Amino acid sequence: MVESDGFDLTYFINNQLKFIHQAIHGLFDYVDKKQNEQSNALDLLSAYLADGKLNSRQAVIIQHAIKHPGAVYTIAGHKTPQNIAYATAKLDLERLAKLGLLQQSKRGRVFIFIAPNDLEQRIKEYQ
């Protein structure tokens, strides 16, 4: 049996709008969930600062790392914007690696520090 709709697109358009509506709501739900997760992680980060476990420079790195999993940090890249000595930048990043908040590796002669994908979970577990 063939449907005879006289080329009326109303059903098709309504159906597509329904799918778009569902997709938009799904996106909003996802964004809300991610914002709540980041907010919770930042609250925990505030506790680290209050307890003296991190300094303000390290907190800046972790805030960025929470929002950008997989980001790569270098000593030189931390040193310049913070206007600190190489040794201080190195200590900051090594401390974060020692706490398990960054992963330390080496590319050639350069130390790199990578934001893990599960950083928020690591912060919660460390607390």
**pLDDT (tens digit, 9 = 90+) per residue, 35-84?**
887 777 677 777 666 677 788 899 889 889 988 999 999 999 999 999 99
Question: Containing domain of residue 56, as a range?
Answer: 10-126
- Tell me the C-alpha distance between 75 and 85, whole Å: 10
Do 108 and 90 meet the contact criterion of CB atoms below 8 Å apart?
no
Q: What is the pLDDT of residues 86-111, one digit of tens each?
A: 999 999 999 999 989 999 999 999 99
Domain count, the chain: 1
Q: What is the pLDDT of residues 7-36, one digit of tens each?
A: 778 888 888 999 999 999 999 999 988 888
CATH of the domain at 91: 1.10.10.10
Task: Tell me if 16 is assigned to some domain.
Answer: yes
